[in-house]
Chain A
Amino acid sequence: MMRLISKNRWTMGLFVVLALLFVVTKIIQPDFGASGVESLARASLPFAFATAAMAVVVIAGGIDLSVASMMAVASVTAAVLMQGASDAMAIPIVILVLVIGVIMGAINGALIVITKVPDIVVTLAMLFVWEGVALLILNAPGGAAADWLEALIVGGTGLLGIPKALIVLAVCVLVVWIPLRRSRLGLSIYAIGSDENAAFRSGIAVGRTRIIAYAICGLFAAMGGLSLTMSTGIGEPIPGPYLLASVAAVVLGGVVLGGGKGGLIGPIVAVFILRLVRMDLTLMSVDPNVTTIVEGTIMVAVVMLGGVLAIRSARS
Chain B
Amino acid sequence: MNEANSAPAVLDAQGVAKRFGAVSALTDASLTVRAGEVVALMGANGAGKSTFVKILTGALRPDGGHVRIKGRDSTVGNPADARKSGLVPIYQEPSLIPDLDVADNLRLGNTPVEPFLRWVEELGIEGLRLDDMIGDLPLATLRILDLARALAVEPDVLLLDEMTAALPTNLVEQVLRVVRQQADAGRSVIFISHRFAEIAQLCDRATILRDGGTVADLPIEPGIEEKIVELMLGAALERGHIVTSEGQPAHATGRTPRLAVSGLSSGPKLRDVGFDLFPGEVLGVVALEGQGQDELFDVLSGFRRADGGTVRIDGQEASFRHPADAIAKGLTYVPGNRAEALLMERSVRENIALPLLARIRHWGPIRMRDEAARVGEAIDKLQIDTRAQGEVQRLSGGNQQKVTIGRWIATGVETLLLFDPTRGIDVRTKRQIYPLVRELAERGAAILYYTSELDEVQLACDRAIVIFNGRVVDVVDAAHADEQTLMRAAYGLTEQDRAEAVS
Using CB atoms and an 8 Å cutoff, list the residues of chain A in contact with chain B.
3, 184, 187-188, 190-191, 193-195, 197-205, 260-261
Contact = CB atoms under 8 A, between A and B. Distances in A.
A198 B96 contact: yes
A260 B59 CA distance: 23
B104 A187 contact: yes
Given A184-B110, A191-B97, A200-B79, 7 more contacts: A190-B97, A194-B99, A198-B94, A199-B97, A203-B78, A260-B97, A260-B99
Nearest to B89: A201
A214 B59 CA distance: 24
Contacts of A184: 107-108, 110
B97 A202 contact: yes
Contacts of A194: 97-100
B93 interface: yes
Interface in B72-110: 78-80, 83, 89, 91, 93-100, 104-105, 107-110
Contacts of B126: none
B131 interface: yes
Given A3-B131, A190-B99, A198-B93, A203 B104 contact: no
A202 B98 contact: no
Contacts of B105: 202
A191 B80 contact: no
26 contacts: A3-B131, A184-B108, A187-B100, A190-B97, A190-B99, A190-B104, A191-B108, A194-B97, A194-B98, A194-B100, A195-B97, A195-B98, A198-B93, A198-B97, A199-B97, A200-B59, A201-B59, A201-B89, A201-B91, A202-B79, A202-B95, A202-B97, A202-B108, A202-B109, A205-B78, A261-B99
Contacts of A195: 97-99
Contacts of A205: 78, 80
Interface in B25-73: 59
A185 to B, nearest CB: 10
A197 B107 contact: no
Contacts of A260: 97-99
B109 A203 contact: yes
A74 B94 CA distance: 43
A12 to B, nearest CB: 17
Contact of A198 (B78, B98, B110, B131): B98
A296 to B, nearest CB: 28
A191 B135 CA distance: 12
Contacts of B80: 203-205
Contacts of B93: 197-198
A191 B109 CA distance: 11
A192 to B, nearest CB: 9
**What are the nearest 3 A-B pairs in CB distance?**
A201-B95, A203-B80, A260-B99
Contacts of B104: 187, 190
Which residue of B93, B97, B109 has the most chain A CB atoms within 10 A of its CB atom?
Answer: B97
Interface residues of B, number: 22
Contacts of B79: 200-203
A201 B131 CA distance: 22
Interface in B197-227: none
Contacts of A190: 97, 99-100, 104
Contacts of B91: 201
A274 to B, nearest CB: 25
Contacts of A200: 59, 79
A194 B110 CA distance: 19
Nearest to A192: B97
B155 to A, nearest CB: 13
Given A198-B95, A260-B98, A203 B83 contact: yes
Nearest to B94: A198
A258 to B, nearest CB: 10
B344 to A, nearest CB: 15
Which residue of A199, A202, A260 has the most chain B CB atoms within 10 A of its CB atom?
Answer: A202
Nearest to A199: B97
A260 B99 CA distance: 6
Contact of A187 (B78, B83, B94, B107): B107
A205 B97 CA distance: 14
A205 B58 CA distance: 12
Nearest to A262: B99
A188 B93 CA distance: 19
Contacts of A203: 78-80, 83, 109
B361 to A, nearest CB: 37
A176 to B, nearest CB: 19
Interface in B451-483: none
Contacts of B96: 198, 202
B131 A187 contact: no
A183 to B, nearest CB: 9
A39 B68 CA distance: 65
A200 B109 CA distance: 11
B262 to A, nearest CB: 29
Which residue of A184, A203, A260 has the most chain B CB atoms within 10 A of its CB atom?
Answer: A203
A201 B78 CA distance: 9
Nearest to B105: A202
Contacts of B97: 187, 190-191, 194-195, 198-199, 202, 260
Nearest to A191: B97
A184 B108 CA distance: 6
A59 to B, nearest CB: 9
A173 B402 CA distance: 54
Nearest to B110: A184
B99 A193 contact: yes
Contacts of A204: 80, 108
Nearest to A193: B99
B77 to A, nearest CB: 11
A9 to B, nearest CB: 13
A290 B85 CA distance: 63
A203 B80 CA distance: 4
Contacts of B99: 190, 193-195, 260-261
A195 B135 CA distance: 11
B86 to A, nearest CB: 13
Interface in B274-316: none
B82 to A, nearest CB: 8
B102 to A, nearest CB: 12
A187 B108 contact: yes
Interface string B328-357: 000000000000000000000000000000
A202 B98 CA distance: 12
A307 B96 CA distance: 25
A184 B107 CA distance: 7
Nearest to A3: B131
A190 B134 CA distance: 13
Contacts of B109: 202-203
A260 B133 CA distance: 12
A129 to B, nearest CB: 30
Nearest to A196: B97
Contacts of B100: 187, 190-191, 194
